[in-house]
Structure 1
Amino acid sequence: MTISLRGRLPLVAIASALVLASPLAAPVVAQTAPKAQAQVDPEMRLRRIEAELRAVQRKVFPDGVGKTFVPEITAGQTAPTLTGTPAAPAVSDLLARMDAVEGQLTRLTAQVEEGQNRAAKMEERLARLELAAAPPPVESEMQAAAAAPVASLTPAPKPAATAPAPKPAATTPATAKPATPSATRVAAVQAIEKPATADAGSDEYMYGFRLWEAKFYPEAQQQLQIFVDRYPKHNLTSHGRNLLGRAWLDDGKPGTAAQFFLQNYLADKKGARAPDSLLYLGVAMVRLKDTEKACGAFAELAATYPEEIAGRIKTQYDNARASVKCK
């Protein structure tokens, strides 16, 4: 029995569409179907589709050979299965990386600008401190100190034995003849024992310290100046310069004291008493009623030696800082 194809063209078109669409539909179904369906064996699904296609071919082409379509997917060939999440486009990934690099560059630029700003402020504070090295009242104070009574610094076994006191290197020549110290003061100074150890530099410093501790400030100034001049590289030199400033400050000469404090800080910023000199430089400026320089000294101290003001000299710093109103 022969069946004409003239009246079956619509069926041929439908069958052709099924043949062409079936192998392409498999990946889509595999991609959108639920998780359980996506796990079905692709080989089994392909065989089922081919069986259904042969059934359709038998209906559409009952004459057999020559009227069928060969499937594009053959036995043994599996349909691709789409898994995972599609990767981001290359352009999107590149844009994200560029945004990250720009963010890092912005942060780095901000850090550099902050560092430059801090450096500028440090230089400004240092310049203000250097201006404090020559305050107006210094010269008159040094001249007055040179004319003040000074007892003998050389201890002698007999009270009557005195030696001429050496002139301090930091003072100007006296314009008037200094008054002779009283016998009582000479005796009191000579009663202070000068150490005699294997370290001559330490002996000179300790003698000056004992004079300062006994409140013989002019004598302490001269003795400490001797130590600083003779032993500029001694491990107690930072102590000596700082104590020399203290002797002038306690003697009521804040202008002269400020010179020695600033000199000690600038000469050796890592010295043992460099923080103390900055502290007392601020105190001297407060006594001179120079608020700007006092605040500059305290700010430099806080920026350079934060550990010191939080520990060893915290009480002195807090008291000195509270004595002046800084902006």
Structure 2
Amino acid sequence: MLKIAPLLLFLTLISNLTFAQKNTDKSSALTIGLIEKLASKELGEERTISIYLPEDYKKNDTTKYPVIYILDGGVNEDFIHLAGIVRFNTQPWINRFPRSIIVGIENTNRKRDFVFSVPNLDFVEKMGFKKESFPVQGSAKYIAFLEKELQPYISKKYKTTAQKTVIGESLAGLLATEILLKHRNLFNTYIIVTPSLWWGNESLLAEAPKLLKTGNNSNVQVYVGACNKEEDLTMYNDALALGEVLKQDGVNLKQVHFDYMPNEIHSTAIHQAVYNAFKLLYPKTAYQK
């Protein structure tokens, strides 16, 4: 019994300590948004959607909010850090633009979803990719998913205004550019960062002047960001060309900004670019009105 008693005493102390910890622990989960699953007929698969609602969002009041869509929008992609930029800019002491709903679309295969169909893939090898990396070009289906499924779903479930922003970088920037040129009415604000306009031997750039002459441009504003040109001169030149053609041929576009970021490389540009975009597109804060 003498040998057992110390063990019992030890177990009793551990039990009491555990009980005390359970009763004094005041930690709780930090929640910044919602995760939803949306079955897509257009894509033939289920998509994961991350959603951030403004702090004062109330289901039963009449306030409506603009929506910001992030194409590389998974929790492990750009959703969390870009949501932070939006939240910062919409705080009442800054009030750069209205508090907004953020919708992040998690990727399943961005090399399929963000590129449009081309007659051949010979050009991808000179950009350092293998042809088999792009077996299917499915941007048409993805754009249909945005237009026919995701946007109506968000508008029906949440209290939204007609103001919609899209953020896309690299291949997602290519998709955002395609939407801007061919389906302009889907968004009012386009934030396009280091877009992969080399796709299709710059065919989208070649079509841009003609495409910009169609559709209503009056409520559309565009930011184009480019990273250090020494890292990738082709992507810099393409981003610069896009900015120039938008300014020259984008008749009645509300505003266009080209932003060269020499201190950023392709992998770091997105965060700084989005911050810069909001400052350029919405230059006034609560104290500058």
Q: TM-score when scaled to structure 1?
A: 0.27
> Greater share of strand residues, 1 or 2?
2
Q: TM-score when scaled to structure 2?
A: 0.29
Q: Tell me: higher relative CO, structure 1 or 2? Use CA pairs within 8 A at least 6 residues apart.
A: 2
Structure with the greater alpha carbon radius of gyration: 1
> Greater share of helix residues, 1 or 2?
1
